[in-house]
Chains A and B, each alone.
Chain A
Amino acid sequence: MMTPQRQRILLSHRSTPALKPHVRLQYDKVRQAWALLSPEKVFWPDDVSLDILRLCDGTHSVTQILEELSMQYDAPIEEITADVETFLQDWSDRSLVAL
């Protein structure tokens, strides 16, 4: 039997995360909330998750995302780095974000 060709993608600071094709962030008028639609699952990201996801546009590097969030939340980069990195790795592992 063959061995898996695909490998788990690990986050680096040069990664430019983007929502995967066919994963979309959409405002739901009925519930007045942002929904993330993906194959067979709907997620309801909280405000912090939304701010990260909005920066996952394929142009911002992880370093730039951290700088941007640090300004938005008026928090030192070193304080937010671990949380943001964990978030992005987790969403990559769930096939929602491409790194």
Chain B
Amino acid sequence: MSETVLPPIGMLAELTHRCPLQCAYCSNPLELLKANREMATEGWLSLFDQAADLGVLQIHLSGGEPTLRPDLETLVRRLSDRGVYTNLITAGVGIREGRIDDLVQAGLDHVQISFQGALATTTEKIGNYRDAHFKKIETAGKVRAAGLPLTINAPIHRHNIDEIPAFIELALKLDAERLEIANVQYAGWALLNRNSLMPDRASVERQVNVVQEAQERLHGILAIDFVTPDYFAIYPKPCMGGWARDAFMVAPDGTVLPCHAAGTIPGLVFERFGEKSLADIWHASPAFNAFRGTDWMAEPCRTCDRKEIDWGGCRCQAMAIAGNAAATDPACIKSPFHARMAGLIEEATISGQDAFHYRRIGSGVTNHAHNAAETVES
């Protein structure tokens, strides 16, 4: 490896796969881990110490639903003591009275709450959880009352793409600092549910106009981050800011991965914290080095002047759609497989599918094989 490995800045800690919601667009793997596979408190504390030593400055506490971990305050306290910025990524339901204040006391810096819809009926349907919308609004109120900055995350797909103006109103009403309009990335459960989630081209075009108008109108009032939909793109995103470049994630059992879906790439072996130190994994793991920097790239990336802008895009999307993790992300117009993206949009539109495989522990495994077969054919 000729590339210089810099220290990581960010870490996504998926503390648990357990979640009260069952969103069909979830980025977690289909094979969800049960509670008995989760790393214990001591393991996470030791991992956080090593992360801080290695140079990690921000940790996103996620899941599943991270507040299902009764030790969350202890974990936040350690990170705060080490000067690491903590971001809680929560569904905002089922959080007991006083918990947000306890987390603030422990040193929590910021909260991100997901809203599955801007309307109560949509939020309830997508998450398959009664009264979810009102509970989320209540949690958002507690976050702001405790003086913490709030981000609203809106994962966008066919069933809520027309609610974007209402999402913007909701974010303002909840006194959020930021709104993420995040088009679903088709990995994990979202890939399994792709035909039921993919929006049509006209809706995506309308969405772009609505978001751009709101970004200008609300400049200095509400920051709107727009995660554009890959399947409608011309160029890929710099997925994770580049493979193993400045961020990584950790699964509930302590497996350290360059991104959410990296486990879908055959041939890569991911190491678990505890069996190896974090520094060892970050610097020397063959899986981390597999797509680091630009040396691994083939054409058209190798000679592309965007190669250090998008770092070849998403390896997992290359695997899922081009059938080769080392290929250019098919979201790129220069990829020989770029037309497949349009084909998959078309396929979703004519499929007539609208029902979800809801995200539940144990229900994704048989569907996985089915979906993999479909992807190879397409």
Binding site for B on A (CB under 8 A): 1-2, 4-9, 20-22, 24, 26, 28, 30-31, 35, 37-40, 42, 92-95
Q: What are 7 residue pairs bridging A and B, where the CB atoms are less than 8 Å apart in the complex?
A: A1-B165, A2-B169, A4-B221, A26-B83, A31-B55, A39-B110, A42-B58
Bound-complex Cα distance A20 to B172 (A): 18
Given contacts A6-B221, A22-B148, A39-B149, 19 further A-B contacts (CB under 8 A): A2-B172, A2-B173, A8-B221, A21-B149, A28-B57, A30-B55, A31-B55, A35-B57, A39-B87, A39-B178, A40-B87, A40-B112, A40-B151, A42-B58, A42-B85, A92-B220, A93-B220, A94-B223, A95-B177
Instruction: Check B219–A95 contact: CB distance below 8 A.
Output: no
B1 close to A (CB within 8 Å) = no
CA distance A72 to B9 in the complex (A): 32
Name the residue among A2, A24, A40 with the largest chain B CB count within 10 angstroms. Answer: A40
Complexed CA–CA distance, A49 and B347 (Å): 51
Determine if A39 and B109 form an interchain contact, defined as CB atoms under 8 angstroms apart.
yes
Residues in A with CB closer than 8 Å to B223 are 94-95
Interface centre among B148, B173, B177, B218 (most CB of A within 10 A): B177
Alpha-carbon separation in the docked complex, A94 to B219 (Å) = 9
CA distance in complex: A80, B59 (Å): 37
Does B7 contact A4, Cβ atoms closer than 8 Å?
no
B297 within 8 Å of A by Cβ?
no
Which residue on B lies nearest to A24, using beta carbons?
Answer: B85
Provide the main secondary structure of the chain A interface. loop
Let me know if A6 and B173 touch, CB within 8 A: no
CB of B164 within 8 A of chain A?
no
Instruction: Provide the B5-33 mask, 1 if CB < 8 A to any CB of A, else 0.
Output: 00101100000000000000000000000
Q: Cα distance A26–B149 when bound, in Å?
A: 19
Query: A-contacting residues of B (Cβ < 8 Å)?
Result: 7, 9-10, 53-55, 57-58, 60, 83, 85, 87, 109-110, 112, 147-149, 151, 165-166, 169, 172-173, 175, 177-178, 218-223
Whether the Cβ atoms of A20 and B149 lie closer than 8 Å is yes
**Contact (Cβ within 8 A) A28 B109:** no
Nearest Cβ in chain B — how far from A68, in angstroms?
25
B147 touches A21 (CB 8 A): yes
Closest Cβ neighbor of B169 among chain A residues:
A1
Bound complex: CA A21 to CA B55 (Å): 23
Which of B83, B151, B177, B220 touches A8 (beta carbons < 8 Å)? B220
Question: Are A37 and B221 touching (Cβ within 8 A)?
Answer: no
Q: How far is the CA of A5 from the CA of B7 in the complex (A)?
A: 42
Q: Give chain A nearest CB distance to B145 CB in angstroms.
A: 13
A2 to B178, CA, bound (A): 18
B173–A22 touching, CB < 8 Å: no
With A2-B172, A39-B87, A40-B87 known to touch, is A93 a contact of B219 (CB < 8 Å)?
yes
Q: A94–B215 Cα gap in the complex (Å)?
A: 12
Distance of A58 Cα from B166 Cα, bound (Å): 35
Given A4-B221, A8-B219, also A42-B149 (CB < 8 A): no
Q: Is the CB of A37 within 8 A of B58?
A: yes
Which A residues are CB-close (under 8 A) to B148? 22
Give Cα distance in the complex from A1 to B177, angstroms. Answer: 19
Assess the B58–A7 pair: CB atoms within 8 A.
no
Nearest A residue to B87 by beta-carbon distance? A40
Given A8-B220, A9-B220, A42-B9, residue A37 in contact with residue B87 (CB < 8 A): no
List of A residues within 8 angstroms of B60 by Cβ:
40
